[in-house]
């Protein structure tokens, strides 16, 4: 599962156009998109005065191992003009590896890969689009269902279908 988002325009256009182009690029690079959520408009987390994000989630099929898949996502971000500056900064493209099947990779100091994504269960901008794609998804570490994770979301996280 891959989460995608943007809140700044890119050379491809507005955030929705950028995200559509990024998904096409992932397919060109060998990923097979099995399902894609609708686009969601989401308030930045933490709340700030930056533009709202357009977010979504897609399920993919790939022979890539998690490390190689994460490297591919970062390469596509860079190709689209993503510059990693401050945490939670506005961005032209954000691609996050949420899960790789039921594989669990604990966080390691200095290592970028952690599966499932460590904040996946705390973010409306991930959980609501994930419900579009995999409503029966279960967190591989906690055993929590997607619906129970959504029910525990803070009320101040705003997300609406685009």
Which of these is catalytic: 24, 25, 32, 96? 96
Is residue 142 over pLDDT 90? Answer: yes
Q: What SS3 class is residue 70?
A: helix
Mean pLDDT on 75-82: 95
- pTM here is 0.93
Residue 69: the pLDDT is 97
Is residue 48 over pLDDT 90? Answer: no
Which of these is catalytic: 84, 94, 152, 156? 94
CATH superfamily to which 2-161 belongs: 7,8-Dihydro-6-hydroxymethylpterin-pyrophosphokinase HPPK (3.30.70.560)
Q: Is 119 a catalytic residue?
A: no
Q: Is 36 a catalytic residue?
A: no
Share of the chain above pLDDT 90, in %: 81
Burial class (CB in 10 A: 0-12, 13-18, 19+), 139: middle
Digit-coded pLDDT (tens) for 4-39: 999 999 999 999 999 999 999 999 999 999 999 999
Tokens of 41: 């408009």
Q: Is 156 a catalytic residue?
A: no
Domain ranges in the chain are 2-161
d(CA 131, CA 68): 26
């Amino acid at each position: 599962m891959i989460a995608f988002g943007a809140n700044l325009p890119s050379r491809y256009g507005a955030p929705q156009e950028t995200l559509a182009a990024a998904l096409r690029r992932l397919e060109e690079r060998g990923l097979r998109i099995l399902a894609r959520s609708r686009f969601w408009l989401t308030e930045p987390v933490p709340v700030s005065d930056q533009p709202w994000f357009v977010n979504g989630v897609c399920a993919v099929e790939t022979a890539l191992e998690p490390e190689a898949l994460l490297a591919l996502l970062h390469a596509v971000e860079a190709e689209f003009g993503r510059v990693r500056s401050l945490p939670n900064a506005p961005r032209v493209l954000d691609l996050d590896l949420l899960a790789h099947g039921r594989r669990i990779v604990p966080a390691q100091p200095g290592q970028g890969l952690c599966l499932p994504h460590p904040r996946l269960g705390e973010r409306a901008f991930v959980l609501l689009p994930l419900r579009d794609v995999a409503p029966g998804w279960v967190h591989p570490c906690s055993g929590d269902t997607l619906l129970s994770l959504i029910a525990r979301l803070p009320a101040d996280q705003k997300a609406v279908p685009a």
